[in-house]
């Protein structure tokens, strides 16, 4: 599902994006501190979003690896920046799974440390090509999301908003949420002005997200 503004993808684009993600993805590094990031290799993309929005699930969907990134019913599962790459194959792309933000129950100190790590990484990583900011299709953009969008806008880091858990709302609401979210981000300076709707559970929008990522990599390489 795409908004009316979304440029359609050709079958060739969908197919070559599928191939781009086909290799065996591996976990390569975990960082809890900004001074402990892995050396930069090729191009990086990162998945950010509130706790439990479905970041790790979406990465598993993109890479077709059920348990590459660990997921959980309870928020606060991912507690580090986790880096994934197709080691020994096509190593041009690194995918970064991030801790969720906006989740209070893990304790104030941890939340503050994660928030700092997320913001420092997002504004300071030279090979970060695009950030995918995940928003729950049932809830839309919240204030905590706004703070992250603000960081990205200020640092001029390109990002795209992706709605998750599209299966959890009615079909008739999917287009509405995508359009409403697009209206909220379209004037933001660093936002890519298209919103994708996905469901990791049903595979909805995953081939399109792969194709969107492939376009970014091709444009910026
Ligand atoms: N219905 C539905 N549930 C989903 C979908 N994607 C993820 N979930 C569920 O949402 C919960 C959180 O998923 P995660 O992928 O662990 O979320 P996360 O954003 O990585 O969470 P943190 O690491 O805690 O920040 C799990 O119970 C998933 O099964 C989806 O597409 N549809
Ligand atoms: Mg996670």
Q: How far apart are the first and last CA of the chain?
A: 27
Residue 100's CATH number: 3.40.50.300
Rounded distance from Cα 74 to ligand 2 centre (Å): 10
Which ligand approaches the C-alpha of residue 74 most closely?
A: 1
Beta bridge partners of 52: none
Rounded distance from Cα 165 to ligand 1 centre (Å): 8
CA distance 83 to 31: 8
Which strands, in side-by-side order, build the sheet including 81-85?
A: 26-31, 81-85, 93-97, 43-49, 128-136, 159-164, 196-197
> 156: helix, coil or strand?
coil
- Among the atoms of ligand 1, which is closest to the Cα of residue 59? 15
Q: Is 144 in the pocket of ligand 1 (CB under 6 A)?
A: no
Q: Would the pLDDT of 214 be above 70?
A: yes
CA distance 92 to 40: 10
Domain that holds residue 202: 11-220
- Each residue's pLDDT tens digit, 158-185: 999 999 999 999 999 999 999 999 999 9
CA distance 187 to 39: 34
Rounded distance from Cα 103 to ligand 2 centre (Å): 12
pLDDT value of residue 76? 84
Q: Is residue 3 part of a domain?
A: no
> Which residue is associated with the tokens 């420092």?
120
Q: Would the pLDDT of 186 be above 60?
A: yes
Q: Is 205 in the pocket of ligand 1 (CB under 6 A)?
A: no
- Each residue's pLDDT tens digit, 37-77: 999 999 999 999 999 999 999 999 999 998 999 998 888 88
Rounded distance from Cα 57 to ligand 1 centre (Å): 6
Q: Is residue 205 part of a domain?
A: yes
Q: Is residue 6 part of a domain?
A: no
pLDDT value of residue 3? 54
Q: Is residue 65 part of a domain?
A: yes
Q: Is residue 197 part of a domain?
A: yes
Instruction: At 70, list the tokens.
Output: 């660990």
Probe residue for ligand 1, chosen from 51, 52, 96, 196 as the CB with the greatest number of ligand atoms within 8 Å: 52
Domain count, the chain: 1
- Among the atoms of ligand 1, which is closest to the Cα of residue 101? 25
Q: Is residue 204 within 8 Å of 167, Cβ to Cβ?
A: yes
* Strand boundaries in the chain, DSSP class E: 26-31, 43-49, 81-85, 93-97, 128-136, 159-164, 196-197
- Each residue's pLDDT tens digit, 102-156: 876 777 888 888 889 999 999 999 999 999 999 999 999 999 999 999 999 999 9
């Amino acid at each position: 599902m795409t908004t009316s503004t979304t440029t359609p993808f050709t079958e060739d684009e969908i197919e070559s994006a599928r191939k781009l993600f086909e290799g065996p993805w591996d976990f390569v590094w975990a960082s809890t501190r900004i001074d402990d990031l892995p050396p930069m290799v090729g191009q990086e993309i990162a998945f950010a979003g509130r706790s439990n929005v479905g970041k790790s699930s979406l990465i598993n969907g993109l890479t077709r690896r059920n348990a590459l990134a660990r997921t959980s019913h309870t928020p606060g599962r991912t507690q580090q920046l986790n880096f994934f790459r197709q080691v020994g194959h096509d190593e041009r792309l690194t995918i970064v799974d991030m801790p969720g933000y906006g989740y209070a129950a893990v304790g104030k100190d941890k939340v503050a440390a994660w928030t700092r790590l997320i913001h420092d990484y997002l504004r300071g990583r030279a090979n970060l090509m695009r950030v995918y900011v995940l928003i729950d299709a049932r809830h839309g953009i919240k204030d905590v999301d706004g703070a992250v969008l603000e960081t990205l806008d200020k640092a001029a880091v390109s990002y795209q908003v992706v709605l998750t858990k599209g299966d959890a709302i009615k079909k008739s609401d999917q287009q509405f949420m995508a359009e409403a979210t697009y209206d909220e981000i379209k004037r933001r300076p660093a936002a890519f002005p298209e919103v994708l709707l996905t469901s990791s559970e049903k595979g909805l929008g995953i081939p399109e997200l792969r194709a969107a990522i492939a376009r970014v990599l091709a444009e910026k390489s």
